[in-house]
Amino acid sequence: MIKDSEKELEKKFQEKIDRGESIEPKDWMPERYRKQLIRMMGQHAHSEIVGMLPEGNWITRAPSLKRKAVLLAKVQDEAGHGLYIYSGTETLGISRDEMNSELLSGKAKYSSIFNYPTLSWADMGAIGWLVDGAAIINQTALAKCSYGPYARAMVRICKEENFHHKQGYEILATLMKGTEEQREMAQDAVNRFWWPSMMMFGPSDKNSPNSEELMRWKVKRFSNDELRQRFVDRTVPQAENIGIKIPDPALKWNEETRHYDFGEINWEEFYNVISGKGICNKERLQARNEAHDKGAWVREAALAYAKKQASQEFAA
Ligand code: BYC
């Protein structure tokens, strides 16, 4: 009896999704839908927060006051993105503390891209252009996902990501107009960030265990490979425009498909990075843990203040 009604609810839920309607926090949803969203949104929020670290590394070394102000604003924006998405995830019944513990213990994933080091100023350009560029393509699709709070967070985030993308491209364009050494620095950054950016879209479709379910529920609107292709098609002309070479000898325009063909991704590297064996995995988790420990007094003070306010209100 209970099983039947559950089936009926699931049928109605799927029909609602098929009609293109949003699922809101108080609506009935299958437990699996809730769990999948907590997983994906949690990972996304953690990525924004951990993503502050590689760029934060260059704030004190930005080459001018203007560059420093722009980078500072960008890194702060990423913190804001993390907070919107954590809030959106809380509507699914998980607390911020639980998500934070999962990040700090290393149980939760965050985007593979942030386990690569930032070695030169040009990396700020490559991250803005390639990493935020990849993120925009993914997130523009997520802005139409079936879960209302996630979709709405994405709309605002995408607007800010567009500014991030442009500032990164402009850093590289400026370097490409500079000295030989500056051009080499820009090219070197792109050489290091190109393939990790391609990996941001996740495993190829045939090896993506979550895709089928997430696409049926319209959480994902396009597959990993479709979005990766879109990224390549958009990015190659931008590279040509400023004289940057994409480090892929197999990259070639295909007149028949009207898309660029590209080389094979090093999946062994991808799986190593997402299983904790990337260059910076340990450093990133250590930095987050240290920041959490150093912030203990702030949490205690905020709690003490909130308790005092509550007791005063109660007494009044
Ligand atoms: N990195 O079945 P699949 C930003 C995992 S930050 C790590 O295809 P799904 C920015 C995946 O989680 C933007 N792990 O998964 C911030 C799964 O493992 P579990 C971050 C990855 O969910 C600062 C397994 O591989 N954006 O913009 O269907 C500065 C199998 O994969 C990755 C988001 O987080 C990866 N790259 O699809 C600058 C977008 N790829 O959980 C910029 C939201 C896959 O089963 N997320 N895995 O153990 C998504 O769109 C999707 O979750 C993914 C993966 C496309 C990433």
Amino acid identity, position 185: M
User: Which residues are bridge partners to 254 per DSSP?
Assistant: 259
Name the phi and psi angles at 203, rounded to 5.
-65, 165
pLDDT digits (tens, 9 = 90+) for 14-43: 999 999 999 999 999 999 999 999 999 999
**Which atom of ligand 1 lies nearest, measured to the CA of 54?**
29
Centre of ligand 1 to C-alpha 202, Å, is 6
State which of 35, 39, 41, 43 you would mutate to test the pocket of ligand 1, scoring each by most atoms of that ligand within 8 A of its C-beta. 43
pLDDT digits (tens, 9 = 90+) for 203-242: 999 999 999 999 999 999 999 999 999 999 999 999 999 9
Centre of ligand 1 to C-alpha 112, Å, is 8
- Supply the pLDDT for residue 77: 97
Q: At residue 2, does pLDDT exceed 60?
A: no
Centre of ligand 1 to C-alpha 200, Å, is 7
Find the mean pLDDT for residues 191-205: 98
**Contact by Cβ (8 Å): 66, 139:** no
Centre of ligand 1 to C-alpha 138, Å, is 10
- Supply the pLDDT for residue 316: 76
State which of 36, 40, 81, 231 you would mutate to test the pocket of ligand 1, scoring each by most atoms of that ligand within 8 A of its C-beta. 40
CA distance 239 to 258: 18
- Alpha helices in 177-280, H assignment, sequence order: 180-199, 211-216, 224-242, 267-272
Centre of ligand 1 to C-alpha 154, Å, is 15
Q: Using a pLDDT cut of 90, give the percent of the chain over it.
A: 96
Centre of ligand 1 to C-alpha 47, Å, is 9
Find the mean pLDDT for residues 89-95: 98
pLDDT digits (tens, 9 = 90+) for 129-183: 999 999 999 999 999 999 999 999 999 999 999 999 999 999 999 999 999 999 9
- Residue 234, burial from CB neighbour count under 10 angstroms (0-12, 13-18, 19+): middle
**Shortest-distance Cα residue to atom 54 of ligand 1:** 202
**Which atom of ligand 1 lies nearest, measured to the CA of 164?**
38
**Which atom of ligand 1 lies nearest, measured to the CA of 111?**
1
**Shortest-distance Cα residue to atom 9 of ligand 1:** 210
Centre of ligand 1 to C-alpha 305, Å, is 38
